[in-house]
Amino acid sequence: MTLNALVLLPPILVLILAVWTRNVIVALSIGILVASLMSTNFSIIETLKFALYKVWEETNIPGLWGNGPVEHLYTFGFLLVLGILISLITYTGGIAAYSAILRQKLKNKKVAEMCSFFLSPFFFLDDYLSTLTVGCIIKPITDKFRVPRVKLAYLLDSMSSPLCTLIPASSWTALILSQLKISGISENVTAGTLIIGDPLLIYLKSMPFTIYSFLVMASSLFIVKKGISYGPMHKHEMIAEKTGNLFAGKHPVISTLKECGVAGSLGNFFVPIGIFLSSLILLLFYSGYQHTSNHTLFNILLAANPFSALFWSSIISLTSSIIYLYYKRVINIESIKDIISSGFNLMINSLIVLLLAWVFAAILKDNLGTGQYLANLLIDNLPGFTLPLMIFLSSMVIACSTGSSWGTIAIVLPLSIPAVTVLSAGALPLTPEQTPLLYPIIGALVSGALAGGHISLISDSTIMAATSSGSYTIDHLLTQLPYVAPAIVFTAIGYMINGIYNSNSLTMQFAILGILLALTLLTVALLNRFFKTKY
């Protein structure tokens, strides 16, 4: 299909419908049908066949008997089993017991909110894992202090993915390193090598240039510490404080979790979580060891398959925990059935939304070329010094419109590396020292992918944060937007400075980062002073 502005119609339509109908599933379904119509030249029969085929394809079930991908299947399985595991811990009183311990330490709303920042680093291996597990632990506590569910969703969303990008052994890092290799960065010189260097070392040096991660985490911490509340979030917080309704006066999101009436043993919490984390680490090491000949700690973790490790560790944890709790006579056969049903109901709506979002993103990427169109539109034929800024903006727009941060990285990185080599002196392959904008453009790409996910109704991070907090997805997005906007604006300014300065200097970057951080926090404070929503 010829790329033109029409390929932007489906994502714009989905956004309008989602805000209008307040139903993400309906909006995505219509978006898929419109995108399918465009992909099949508006043939009704072919559209239906095409849409059904894309749904089947994105489940990754065909990969079970072929050589195709199975990552989505592993993700579905992991989320479903994790939902059952959360249901098990809740039913047996493990969450209540752990929450009771935390309540003794947490004396007010601010400290309860701060707790999410201290728990997130323990689940740094994957953003889904962090969001769902921390949300499961913190929600009963924040409910006690009348923290609106959208505030909890914001806290989870602002920490999970940004933190994963700054940890050298997370699922995000593994993805980025694989894409750096595909894009032409390698220690071994081949016909496709554009830049000679260790992808891991290059990514580590680019981390200080991932400006958005630092600004959004720091601003969320500042918001909690200073008790800042403005915009739509302020309305939610005022209603929660005055009435106890955590959904801004709406009917609560119905919880499908079977809950134990009283707190159980702490072992009912720590045994499932402990088995899960220990088996996850072992499986990551085993998987990585099998797929790399360089058996250093970093290389083993980065060569691992995080999708299969998350799935199988959740299976091991759930099976072992059921046996353990059955043996202790905490649960019986009937309660196991209820727990499984409760966990399935907890996750099913999110799994449907996630599948539809993946289908929609796949059609935009593979059939309509929406991301490619935007990338070419925003990156091509521009002055060299604007390259970091344009990569940040294009990545953000692509991630927002397609709902896929990882897909954005896969689209934009193969365009960005050749673009930065064109601006550099010397014959290919080049060294990092010969490509002064290398680190800024990698940081800009990751920052844009993160920021786009935070302002997208159909992104994985938005969906998972809303699911974990038990909030309405559209409310989470609308309340989060004013809070992440300052970080986005000053991130953009940062990349303009990087482009003008034209250097990979880490010393200068830390100075720039410090100034941008101060300006971001000052802006948040000023917004808090002047833009409170009346209630």
Q: Looking at residue 91, what is its pLDDT? A: 86
- Sign, Cα dihedral of 10, 12, 16, 19: positive
How far apart, in whole angstroms, are the C-alpha atoms of residue 489 and residue 497?
13
CA separation for the pair 375, 332 (Å, rounded): 56
- Sorted by sequence, the CB contacts under 8 Å of residue 447 that are 6+ apart come out as 210, 211, 212, 213, 392, 395, 396, 491, 495
Q: CB–CB of 454/480 below 8 Å?
A: yes
User: Contact 299/287 with Cβ under 8 angstroms?
Assistant: no
121 lies in some domain: yes
Task: Please name the helix (run of DSSP H) or strand (run of DSSP E) that holds residue 186, with its range, or none.
Answer: strand 185-186
User: Is residue 31 situated within a structural domain?
Assistant: no
| Signed CA dihedral, 18, 23, 25, 30: sign only | negative
Angle of helix 405-422 relative to helix 438-454, nearest 10 degrees, comes to 160
* Two tokens, residue 22: 């307040």
Is residue 374 one of the residues assigned to a domain? no
Flag whether 177 is in a domain: no
How many residues comprise the chain? 535
Closest C-alpha among 452, 365, 378 to residue 411: 365
- Cα angle 21, 408, 130; round to 5: 75
pLDDT for the residue numbered 450: 96
Residue that the structure tokens 């992918």 belong to: 449
Could you identify the residue written with the tokens 């897909």? 407
Which pLDDT does position 177 carry in this prediction?
77
Neighbours of 508 (CB within 10 A): 14
Q: Which domain holds residue 335?
A: 71-169+232-250+259-350
**CA 131, CA 233: separation in Å to the nearest integer?**
20
Q: Which residues of the chain have pLDDT under 70?
A: 1-3, 19, 22, 169, 255-264, 297-298, 301-302, 371-372, 374-382, 425, 533-535
pLDDT, tens digit, 9 for 90 and up, residues 399-414:
888 787 887 887 788 7
Full-model pTM: 0.80
The predicted structure's pLDDT at residue 517? 97
Spell out the residues 6+ positions from residue 442 whose beta carbon is closer than 8 angstroms to its own. 176, 180, 202, 203, 206, 209, 413, 416
In terms of DSSP H, where are the helices of 304-381?
Answer: 306-327, 333-362, 370-379
Residue 331, pLDDT score? 87
Kindly give, in sequence order, each residue whose CB lies less than 8 Å from that of residue 25, ignoring residues fewer than 6 positions away.
349, 352, 353, 356
- Please name the residues in contact with 230: beta carbons below 8 A apart, sequence gap of 6 or more: 482, 527, 528, 531, 532, 533
What is the number of domains present in the chain?
1
- Cα–Cα distance measured from residue 270 to residue 98, given in angstroms and rounded to the nearest whole number: 9
Which residues make Cβ contacts (< 8 Å) with residue 107, sequence separation at least 6?
none
pLDDT for position 286: 87
Confidence at residue 259, expressed as pLDDT on a 0 to 100 scale: 59
Q: What is the pLDDT of residue 256?
A: 60
Asked if residue 208 is part of any domain, the answer here is: no
pLDDT in tens, 283-310: 988 888 887 777 776 677 667 777 788 8
Report yes or no on 318 lying in a domain: yes
Contact 471, 142 (CB under 8 A): no
Whether residue 403 lies inside any domain: the answer is no
Q: What is the pLDDT of residue 152?
A: 95
User: What's the Rg (C-alpha) of the chain?
Assistant: 23
Q: Note the pLDDT of residue 380.
A: 61
* Residue at 218 is within a domain: no
